[in-house]
Amino acid sequence: QVQLVESGGGLVQPGGSLRLSCVASGIIVSNNAMAWYRQTQGKEREMVAHISRGGNTDYADSVKGRFTISRDYARNTAFLQMNSLKPEDTAVYHCKVLTTRTDYWGQGTQVTVSS
């Protein structure tokens, strides 16, 4: 059974940083592409960062230069380092594993950027 558990969200002031973690079980992180999405109430889920099986990364224009996606193979965990946070980054952040057969989602972690 595949399970993804996100953590690391919270309340941070504008300009601050957070690092989100996505611990995977039942699936090997290094064998699959992964992505981070975010969603605010009333809006569609938006992809913010993607890392391919080979390690190539891609980012939404709104977070380029501020967010970094990475994987730790030993801990079977994906990360999203978020710097220079803005109020418009406030959302629930979800990690996603993309396989050839299906995709798996975590339950999400709330990030709130406010003074």
pLDDT in tens, 46-91: 999 999 999 999 999 999 999 999 999 999 999 999 999 999 999 9
pLDDT of the residue at 64 = 98
As a whole number of angstroms, the distance between CA 27 and CA 106 comes to 13
pLDDT score of 29 more than 90: no
DSSP sequence for 7-73:
E--EEE-TT--EEEEEEEESS-GGGSEEEEEEE-TTS--EEEEEE-TT--EEE-TTTTTTEEEEEET
The residue with greater pLDDT, 109 or 29, is: 109
Token pair, residue 47, equals 């992809």
Average pLDDT, the chain: 95
pLDDT above 90: percentage of residues in the chain: 89
pLDDT of the residue at 11 = 98
The residue with greater pLDDT, 27 or 17, is: 17
